[in-house]
Structure 1
Amino acid sequence: MNDKLYINQSSEVFDAIVIGSGVSGGWAAKELCERGHKTLMIERGRVVEHGKDYQGENKAPWEYEHRTRVDNLLVQEQYKIQQQCYAFNDRTKHFFGNDKDLPYTTKPGTEFSWIRANQLGGKSLLWHRQSYRWGEYDFLANKQDGYGNDWPIRYKDLAKWYSHVELHAGISGSKENLPNLPDSEFLPPFEMTAPEKHIQQQLAKAYPERPLIMGRAAHLTRPSQLHISQGRVQCQARNECQAGCSFGAYFSSQSSTLPAAAATGNLHIAPNSVVHSLIYDEASNRVKGVRVIDNDDLSEREYFANIVFVCASTLGSTQILLNSKSKKFPNGIANSSGMVGHYLMDHNYNAGATGFIEGFEDEYYSGRRPSGLLMPNFYYRPDNKRKFLRGYALAGGAYRENWQSLQHQNGIGVDFKNKLQHAGRWKFGLHAQGEMLPRFENQVALHPTLKDKWGMPQLEFDCRFSQNEKDMMSDAAEQAEKMLAAAGVYDIKPYVSHEPPGLAIHELGTARMGRDPKTSVLNGYNQSHDIPNLFVTDGASFCSSAVQNPSLTFMALTARAVDYASKELQAKRI
């Protein structure tokens, strides 16, 4: 990409505006540009150039003053919330939002940890790259048990779009032919270690209906010619992905979709442009453009287009919709249903079990594999005998203790120091990723008085895990302990924790799809029921959370929506 891509002021009426540059925004821009549409991408944060701006890449821990730990004073002043993220450290902190400049509030008695990454590429530079299709059961769950509205689409509607995005992004994994987890278009999977293969075999004997498989990840284990033509090469198994990857070995906007969009000559990007609201024309019932505030000098400007794709992340998109008020939409644009902001969901990571594996002292592993194992949701069929609705997956893997864990064991003297130089016992764990029910009362709204530095009302969260999610986690800890015991793991320690929603960083809902405009915001093509040239294709559009990581579904929904919008635009229906 080059400097000619980036603009500030513009009087041009673009074919399309895309708000946000993360997973969804990158795909929207790519698909629109490749269909010949002049597209403006608006990004609230700074420009991050692929490779050039990965300042933490290839730096060893000992090159940092505190061995990648962030100074505690800086954490308390700027990153009190962001530091809760697994990916936050001294080599990645510049990719995280500054909490001091990005305030929000929570209702009394609730908690929500909002992790943000405001720069070109968004959270696609920080995500954990786990990539799973949703299946037929996932799109039926709401209808079957009555929580949430029925999805207006089914798996068959997305299947070809999953294939479309997988072939471009590059997804490693193994074909398993499971009814609860459809296979993807796979590159070869990463390899399990010897202890993991042993655990897999033992579980297959004891729990044949609960297969343990290699995780499916957006990493190029064997690049195709398409990937090579993108300038991307094979994953080096460094597992330093959140610092940025100049190899382009994992999927991000920078490595994949933005270069593809730029190559068409149809892309422009307006960085450092905080979207304040959408410009609505009541006479035509269309969104005419976008009103932005400069990230640096707080000046205002406007951009115009024929269609608008809002892909600013679930909560970012919702804030924009709620703040876009007019005589027709006093409670936020496209919100005649009153559903915008409601049904907020996140995954629940609050349970699991770990223990030790006997033997395998002569085994180790090469590299740092950037993916683990997965036991897909085995509670995917409704069952009235269970104490809770829906289910969970269990992620895990084996590793050998090293000095970082051994330092906490009892010991003293030369023998103990020598022990720290050698690998310890093998450990294995299973850790839950549970579904969160869609509930009207879990919501986010604009605070009535508090505003941020750009003059926009802050978001206020009123969200909590229900008893259903708590019961689910109790079951996950119990089942993980039983399965580990059956696999021969010893000294097993189950756990149930109580972290708040948000830390899974899988925010969903708040502008959900649906068939009925009275109870939903978007139709089955992610198009606003109220305003035909407005689309929302990120996690805000989801009707349920399922169990699987949602990013691959963001991609597929976005590509499908662009295909539909492009045809509607060409037919002059929007």
Structure 2
Amino acid sequence: MIKEEITEYPTVYDAIVIGTGISGGWAAKELCENGLKTLVLDRGRLVKHIEDYPTMHLDPWDLKHRGTKNPEDVENQKKQNKSYILGPYSKHWFVNDLKHPYNEVKPFDWIRGYHVGGRSLMWARQSYRLSDMDFEANKKDGHGIDWPIRYKDIAPWYDRVEEFIGVSGQNLGLPHLPDGKLSEPMDLNCVELELQKKLKENFDDRLLTIGRTAHKTGNTMHEGRSNCQFRNRCVRGCPFGGYFSSNSSTLPAAERTGNMHLRHNSIAYEIVYDEKKGLASGVNVIDAETREKIFFKASIIFGCASTIGTASILMQSKSERFPNGLGNDSGELGHNIMDHTSKSGASAEVEGFENLYYKGRRPNGFYIPRFRNLNTKTKHKDFLRGYGYQGSASRTNWKRNIGELNYGKDLKDELMKPGHWRIGMGGFGECLPYHDNKITLNYDKLDEWGLPTVDFNVTFRENELKMKEDMERQAIAMLKAAGFKNVVGFNAKSTPGIAIHEMGAARMGHSPKTSVLNKHNQIHTVPNVYVTDGSCMTSSACQNPSLTYMALTARAANHAAAEFKKNKNA
């Protein structure tokens, strides 16, 4: 049983950051570098850079069952196993679904990892800016509410984040995909270059480029990190720091200041509201190991526990002033959940190029930016907003079918030769912000720490399904236009959550009557609480969202630090 008494921790901090993932690491870095004594909380175990990456150098023959999944793993991680990045090399990063249950009014695949660094260790690292087209979309087509910021407000923070994390890629001069502070791009292979050429010849509204990915390339120095080694073992944790993670980058930067106190196995469950001051006074935490309840005091609170995690904490943070959750005057807390649609696209076989190959295991693919509903000419009659594609081409290897071969020298020689080329692409589509796509707390089904579990009531609607159909059609059309063979489309069911881009639940807006957060990511009515993870998003765009989370966090943390110093000197 959880102890009912709450122990007040004697130290009073300037700031508390809840979460250590993509956004939490950035909050810790910026607050600490601004001189604030900062407590950083994570509900999971400690993960130290390099020494706690147990599979970083393993080959298939080093693992039991040669790296294939076994039934016990699947039984304990049924939801997590739906993710393409989970396997024997990475299962230790993902939660045990039996130990961390949730409830589905409608299907939702909640992919999670509870440890220091969070999903910054497991993310796909694709890093794209949102544009004014994205920030203005809600206002123009009437879905959701207007963002309280525009591209110019966040552009300098995109710059700051890209320069620190290292984003490899190519600037294109597209207004709907703003250029960035990019380092040396990775190379497209010969088949991808062929598709790039054929798109240019056959379409006037679409192009192909190498993905923009948070990997260190070129000659820029990043403390404690080396360039990407093209091992493509990223999900295991990179001992070289070749890709950006909190563990290799932002948390070490915060630690170097001497201002960070990192506390793991600390489950934040409530932000405490001071009725007299009209501000938050601190955070209630359960020690995951001892079950002790502890109250930590601070002047500033940053919610960075992931979209669902932060929303759950805010919903549990009830008081006389906020009986329905902290800052929830609008009634929008927990609503407007979004994720990107996926699992639609096409693949093909490629003839020719047998004398060509590629070097290394590039941890990246190509990107085809959005080309639907950009203007009157590209307007689609069946759906609003748009989608982009991610894909790659490669050669098959010894895993191809060898049933017709005989054992002996011919077999061995044949296995050493690369197989034929294949290419594939899949779309990521924007989800509109629907008020009734929501989460609620279930106090009848508690977790092992006595906290309410989450009920998901989220689904894709006609707009998203029509978009998915177009994703398949256009992928087929592009691969056929390139002259590739045996083109096969696919349009599988895409369950919310599986893209691992869940966002919304505590959206930004102009008014406390329609939103939870203001233009600085502060709770409208509790200004010393900031929320900067995916829960703050007002719309989803179609680009991978993590770069935006980081830029918003850096911006908000510097605003919080400036306000703190101003109040301290007043």
1:355 to 341, 348, 351: 348
- Partners of 1:417 and 1:496 in 2: CA distance: 38
| Aligned residue in 1 for 2:99 | 101
Write the distance in 2 (CA, Å) between the matches of 1:209 and 1:479: 12
The correspondence of residues 265-344 of structure 1 with structure 2, limited to 5 A, is 265-344=258-337
Q: Does 1:217 align with 2:213?
A: yes
Alignment partners' CA distance in 1, 2:130 and 2:43: 30
How far did residue 325 of structure 1 move? 1.0
Residue by residue over 1:189-215, the C-alpha shift from the partner in whole angstroms, topping out at 9 and shown as x without a partner, is 001111111111111111132010000
From 171, 177, 180, give the equivalent of 1:175. 171
247 and 385 in structure 1: CA distance in 2 versus 1, 3 angstrom threshold: closer
Cα distance in 1 for partners of 2:245, 2:476 equals 36
Q: More displaced, 326-335 or 306-315?
A: 326-335
Aligned to 1:72: 71
User: Corresponding residue for 2:427?
Assistant: 432
Alpha-carbon deviation of 1:327? 1.3
SS of 2:526's equivalent?
coil
SS at match of 2:207: coil
CA contact (8 A) 1:400 1:423 kept: yes
- Aligned match of 1:111 in 101, 107, 112? 107
Number of residue pairs matched?
559
**Deviation readout 1:547-570 (Å, 9 max, x if unpaired):** 110000011000111111112112
Alignment pair present for 1:86 and 2:84: yes
Per-residue Cα deviation, 1:32-91 (whole angstroms, up to 9, x for no partner): 000010000011001100000000110001110112223212320x21111111111112
Question: Are the aligned partners of 2:373 and 2:384 in contact in 1 as well (CA < 8 Å)?
Answer: no
Whether contact under 8 Å (2:19, 2:306) holds in the other structure is yes
Candidates 240, 248, 253, aligned match of 1:255? 248
Does the 8 Å contact 1:382/1:390 carry over to 2? no
For residues 477-516 of structure 1, the aligned pairs below 5 Å read 477-516=472-511
Structure 2 partner of 1:447: 442
Matched, 1:58 2:57: yes
- Please name the residue that 2:136 is paired with: 140
Please state how far the C-alpha of 1:418 moved relative to its aligned partner: 5.6
Q: How big is the shift at 1:479?
A: 0.6
Deviates more, 1:379-388 or 1:211-220: 379-388
**1:164 Cα offset (Å):** 0.6
> Aligned equivalents of 1:308 and 1:550: distance in 2?
23
- 1:419 CA displacement: 4.2
For 1:148-227, list aligned pairs within 5 A. 148-225=144-221, 227=222
Give me the whole-angstrom Cα distance separating, in 2, the residues matched to 1:287 and 1:521: 15
1:270 deviation in Å?
1.2
Amino acid at match of 1:503: I
> Shift in Å at residue 184 of structure 1?
1.0
1:239 aligned to 2:255?
Answer: no
Where does residue 12 of structure 1 map in the other structure?
11
C-alpha distance in 1 between matches for 2:226 and 2:32: 24
CA distance in 2, matches of 1:517, 1:344: 18
SS state at 2:199 partner: helix
SS in 2 for 1:571: helix
- Could you tell me whether the CA contact under 8 Å between 2:271 and 2:282 is conserved in 1? yes
Offset, 1:223: 4.3
Runs of 5+ consecutive residues of structure 2 not aligned to the other structure: 1-6
**Offset at residue 382 of structure 1 (A):** 5.4
Contact 1:170 1:223 in 2 (8 A): no
In structure 2, the residue matched to 1:5 is none
Aligned to 1:35: 34
- Residue 9 of structure 1 deviates from its aligned partner by 8.1
- Distance in 2, matches of 1:9 and 1:91, equals 40
The DSSP-based 3-state class of the residue aligned with 1:335 is coil
Structure 1 distance, partners of 2:140, 2:254, is 40
Deviation per CA, 1:458-511: give whole Å up to 9, x if none: 000001111111110101100111111111111100110003110110010000
| TM-score for the superposition, normalised by structure 2 | 0.96
Residue 4 of structure 1 is matched in structure 2 by none
Q: CA-to-partner distance for each residue in 1:411-441, whole Å, 9 max, x for gaps? A: 3534677644422211111211111111011
* In 2: Cα distance, 1:195 partner to 1:56 partner: 32
Alignment partner, residue 562 of structure 2: 567
Q: Distance in 2 between matches of 1:371 and 1:497?
A: 23
The structural deviation recorded for 1:366 is 1.1
Are 1:120 and 2:116 an aligned pair? yes
Aligned partners of 1:162, 1:253: CA distance in 2, in Å? 17
List runs of 5+ in structure 1 lacking aligned partners: 1-7
Aligned AA (1:212): L
The structural deviation recorded for 1:251 is 0.4
Deviation at 1:530, TM superposition (A): 1.4
Contact 2:211–2:366 (CA under 8 A) maintained in structure 1: yes
Would the aligned equivalents of 1:223 and 1:233 in 2 still touch at CA under 8 Å?
no
**Cα distance in 2 for residues equivalent to 1:179 and 1:532:** 34
Question: Using the alignment, how far apart are the partners of 1:104 and 1:279 within structure 2?
Answer: 25
Q: Is the 8 A contact 1:171 1:217 kept in 2?
A: yes
Match of 1:411 among 404, 423, 445: 404
- The alignment status of 1:550 with 2:545, answered yes or no, reads yes
Q: Does 1:381 align with 2:379?
A: no
State the Cα distance separating 1:572 from its structure 2 match.
1.6
Equivalent residue letter for 1:290: V
Distance in 1 (CA, whole Å) between partners of 2:87 and 2:58 is 12
Percent identical across equivalent pairs? 47
Provide the secondary structure at the position in 2 that maps to 1:532: strand
8 Å CA contact 2:443, 2:451 repeated in 1: no
TM-score by length of 1: 0.95
AA of the residue aligned to 2:551: A
- Deviation of 1:350 after TM superposition, in Å, equals 2.2
Q: Contact 1:353–1:430 at 8 Å: present in 2 too?
A: yes
- State whether residues 152 and 514 of structure 1, in contact with CA within 8 Å, keep that contact through their aligned partners in structure 2: yes
**Deviation per CA, 1:243-291, whole angstroms, max 9, x where unpaired?**
0111111100011101110111100011100112111111111111110
